[in-house]
Structure 1
C-alpha cells in the first residue's frame, strides 16, 4: 500500500511511470480521489497480462486484460486500427497507453491504448479454459498446467498466498521462531509406517558395504514435530510450515500424498487448554485476515462453489470452540439416533462419520476432543496415568464438513516413561537422540499441527482437497 507521502511523489513524476500491475494503478486512482488531487489520471503506463475478452464495436476495440493480481480485469480501449492480426482470447499482450478515469460505473479506470503487442499467441479452439462458461473443479483438474488461468484457481492461489503470509504473521506477532525443518529424515514421527523411503536413482550411488545413501534408511518427512522439539530445547516457541508426505493408499477427498503442514511447538506448557487456545486463535486470526484481504476471491467460492459457506464461516468465527473428552464423545456417539457404519466403542479411533456427527451435535461449531486412549496415539504423547481407561494428553480439532483439522498433544517429558515405552516398541536405539532431549534440561512442552489444505477446504467450502493445492499428488496420480 502506498503511503500518502509516497503517493504525492509518484503523482508528481507519473508522466513516464511504468505500472506492471493494473491493480496498483487502480489503487493509486482511488487514493488520489480521496486526497482530491486534480487530474490524477492521464498517466502513461504499460500493462502486461493475458486477454480475457476481445470485441470490436464499429471503430473501437475493447480488450479485457488480466495480470493475475485480482479477479478484475482492466478494460483497454483502442482504435481498431491498432488491433494486431494475431490478437485473440488467451494470448499474452503488452499494452501501452494512458490510464484514464472510466465513464462506466463498474470500473474505476480504463486504459486508452497507444500500442498493443501480442507477446504470445493462443490457439483459441484448443484452449480448454473458457471464461464465459463456468467450468467445474473436476473438469479443471484435468489440466493442472493450465487451470491456474481460470478465475477459480487464480482466486485460490491468491488466497493461499495471503493465508500463508497471515500464518507467518500470527506466529511472528506471538514471538515464535520460524524454523526450516528437514524434508529428508531418518525418523518416522507418527510411527505408522506410511512413509516414502528415499533411494538414489543410480545403482552406483550405493555399495555392497553401505546400501544406504545416508548410511541409514531415509524418508520424506511426515512431520517436523520431533525436530521442532529439539529446537524448543533452546527457544521457548518455534514453528515450521512446509511440505509433508504420507504414503497412504487413499482416494478420499480429504487426503493427499504431498501436502503442507503448519506445526508449532512451545516449551514450559503443561496444559492442553493452552494448546487448544493457540489453535483457536490461529484459525480465527488467519481467517479474519484472509477475509479482509481476499474479499472478492473468497466471495467467488462462497457464491459459485459452495453457496451457504459464508454463513457457516461467520457462525464458526463468532462462536467459542467446544471442548469434550474422548470418553464424552464416545458416550454421545453411542446415544446417537443414528446407525454408524463403524460402531463407536471406547478404545477405537474416531472415524470421519463420528467426527461429522460430533460437530453436527454441537451446532456446527468446531470441537476439541481430548484425552485419547493410550494405545491409539504415538509414543511421544504424555501419559495421563489415569487408571483402567489409560489415556494420553492428546487433542484433535474437528471442524464442519472436514473432520480433523488439527492434532496436538503435551509431549512426554519424563525420561523414564518415554524410555520404557520406546523399549517396549523396540525403538529405543533409533530414538536415543530424542531421549537425550529429556536428559539435558527438558521442560514440560507441547504443540500441534494443522493441515493447510484442509484449512482452505474448511473456509472456502471446497469438497475435494485436490482443488485447494496447485499440483495435487495422490495415490496413483503424480501429473507433471
Structure 2
C-alpha cells in the first residue's frame, strides 16, 4: 500500500481504459510516487528522461514530469532498454514501487515495462545531461528551456508564488476583480502605451476607424478599474498581465509582465498601505520557501549564492520608512558619484534606489511623500507648504530597486477637478470625478511587479529569466 492521499488523487485521474498488460495500473505523478510511504504494485509513471545508465545487470533511469524538484529513480532489467531510450525522451514506465536502498530517496520504481512515447534527437537537442549553462544560454531556446532543471524550478516557484499571493488576499478578505486588458484609459503617468488596431486597415467611407469608437490600449495598470470597484467593496485586488511600450533593453523591464494590485477603502493613512505591502511580501515569501525549498535552494546555490542571506534579513527585519526629502539628503551626502545627480524635485533613479537600500543595511526601504509634480493626478495632495508633496510610497528592495508603488488616492472632488483641469484631462476622466460625487471614501492602494518580486526572492539578475515567454523590444518569439 502507499499514502492514502496519493492513492485518492491517482484514482481520480486514472484512465478509464485499462492497460491490457497491467489492467489495474494506477497513474502517479513523480511527486506522488516519491511521497508514497510504502511499496505499491501496478503503478504507471510518465515523464521525461533526465539520465539513463545501463550496466551489465541493471538499467537505471531518472525521470521527471515537472511535479517535483527531484527525479524518480527507475530500475529495471537491461533487456528493457530500447535504442531510442535517451536523455530527453518522453517515456511511460509501468511496474512496482519498492523501498529504495538509497538514503536520499524513499522509494524507486522497479520497471516491468518501459515505453518510449516520444524519442529525443540527442545530437540536435541543445541541452546535455548534467550540464549547467548560464540563464542567458537557455534564453535562446524559449520553446525548449522549460525542459531544464533551472527553468523547471523557476516555473514551480512562480506557480506557488501566484497561489501564495491569492491566498494572502483571500485570507484577508479581499475580493478578486478581473480588470480588463483592453482599456480606453491610459492610467496617466504609468508608462508608454500599446494602441490596438484591427488587422483590416481599410475603413469604409464615414466609418469610425476605431473598433470601440474610441482609441483603445493594452492596459498599463488595473488601478483605475480597482478604484471603481472600491466604491462597492472595501478590499479588492487584481493579478494579471500589463503592458508597457518602453524601448528599454534593461535587466529590469519587460513589454509584458504581471502586476499584483490592491485597493483599500476607508483608509486615511499611508501607513495602512505600507503595512499591507510588507505583510504581503513576507507572507507570500514564507509560503514559497516552505513549499519549494529545493527549487529556491537551486537558485541560491548556483545563480546567486548571497541571496539566501539577504532574503533572511528581509524576512527577519522590519522594513524601514524614510521620506523622499530624507532620501535626497542621504544621496547628496553619499561618498559615491552618481550618473544622475540627486536633486529635490527629480525622480529617483535605479542607482539611487540601490544605494538607499545599501545605506539602510540591505533591508527593504519605503520612500514616502514624493514631490507633487512628480506623480500622477490621482495621488492625494499632502498640503504641506512650499515643497508640496503627495501621499505616495515606493518600496525599494536589495538588488532590484523599486518593487512596489502606491499612494492614497485624491478623494476630494474639488482638489481632483482642479488638477485635472490644469492637466487638460477633465473630459477624459469625467467618470473618475463622478466616483467622488457618489459615496466616495478615503482610499488607497498599490501595485507590485510580480517578475521583480521573483527576481528579489531568487536573486535572478535579469527579469527575462523569471517569465516563461519574455517580451521586450525587437523580441516576440513564439
TM-score by length of structure 2 reads 0.95
Contact 1:262 1:450 in 2 (8 A): yes
> Which of these residues, 24, 33, 48, is aligned with residue 32 of structure 2?
24
* 1:346-361 pair list within 5 angstroms: 346-361=344-359
Q: Relative to 1, partners in 2 of residues 1:206 and 1:72: Cα closer, same or farther, differing over 3 Å?
A: farther
Shift, 1:131, TM fit: 3.0
Q: Indicate the residue corresponding to 1:376 in structure 2.
A: 374
Q: Indicate the residue corresponding to 2:166 in structure 1.
A: 168
Q: Indicate the residue corresponding to 1:68 in structure 2.
A: 66
Q: Indicate the residue corresponding to 1:33 in structure 2.
A: none
Shift, 1:58, TM fit: 0.2
Cα distance in 1 for partners of 2:392, 2:189 equals 16
1:54 pairs with 2:52:
yes
Shift, 1:192, TM fit: 5.4
- Corresponding residue SS for 1:16: coil
Shift, 1:190, TM fit: 3.3
Cα distance in 2 for partners of 1:12, 1:344 equals 63
* 1:117-156 pair list within 5 angstroms: 117-156=115-154
* 1:468-479 pair list within 5 angstroms: 468-479=466-477
Shift, 1:387, TM fit: 1.2
Q: Render the CA deviation track for 1:1-30: whole Å, top value 9, x for unaligned.
A: xx987579899999935133021122121x
Please, which runs of 5 or more residues in structure 1 have no aligned partner? 30-39
Contact 1:167 1:286 in 2 (8 A): yes
* 1:320-399 pair list within 5 angstroms: 320-399=318-397
Structure 1 stretch displaced more, 187-196 or 165-174: 187-196
Cα distance in 2 for partners of 1:68, 1:26 equals 13
Shift, 1:59, TM fit: 2.9
Cα distance in 1 for partners of 2:329, 2:5 equals 62
Cα distance in 2 for partners of 1:314, 1:193 equals 33
Contact 1:166 1:289 in 2 (8 A): yes
Cα distance in 2 for partners of 1:461, 1:193 equals 26
Contact 1:263 1:449 in 2 (8 A): yes
Q: Indicate the residue corresponding to 1:290 in structure 2.
A: 288
Shift, 1:246, TM fit: 0.4
* 1:429-440 pair list within 5 angstroms: 429-440=427-438
Shift, 1:203, TM fit: 2.4
Q: Indicate the residue corresponding to 1:37 in structure 2.
A: none
* 1:433-472 pair list within 5 angstroms: 433-472=431-470
Q: Indicate the residue corresponding to 1:426 in structure 2.
A: 424
Q: Relative to 1, partners in 2 of residues 1:191 and 1:472: Cα closer, same or farther, differing over 3 Å?
A: same
Cα distance in 2 for partners of 1:245, 1:9 equals 42
Cα distance in 1 for partners of 2:157, 2:272 equals 28
> Which of these residues, 66, 81, 84, is aligned with residue 83 of structure 1?
81
Shift, 1:85, TM fit: 2.6
Cα distance in 1 for partners of 2:8, 2:413 equals 63
TM-score by length of structure 1 reads 0.94
- Corresponding residue SS for 2:422: helix
Contact 1:190 1:222 in 2 (8 A): no
* 1:99-248 pair list within 5 angstroms: 99-191=97-189, 194-204=192-202, 208-248=206-246
Contact 1:206 1:213 in 2 (8 A): no
- Corresponding residue SS for 2:262: strand
Count the aligned residue pairs: 468
Cα distance in 2 for partners of 1:8, 1:338 equals 61
- Corresponding residue SS for 1:203: coil
Contact 1:405 1:455 in 2 (8 A): yes
Q: Render the CA deviation track for 1:93-142: whole Å, top value 9, x for unaligned.
A: 00100110111112211111111111101100110022311111000000
- Corresponding residue SS for 2:407: strand
Please, which runs of 5 or more residues in structure 2 have no aligned partner? 15-22
User: Considering only aligned residues, what root-mean-square deviation do their CA atoms show, in Å?
Assistant: 1.9
Contact 2:240 2:260 in 1 (8 A): yes
Q: Render the CA deviation track for 1:205-227: whole Å, top value 9, x for unaligned.
A: 67643010110000000000000
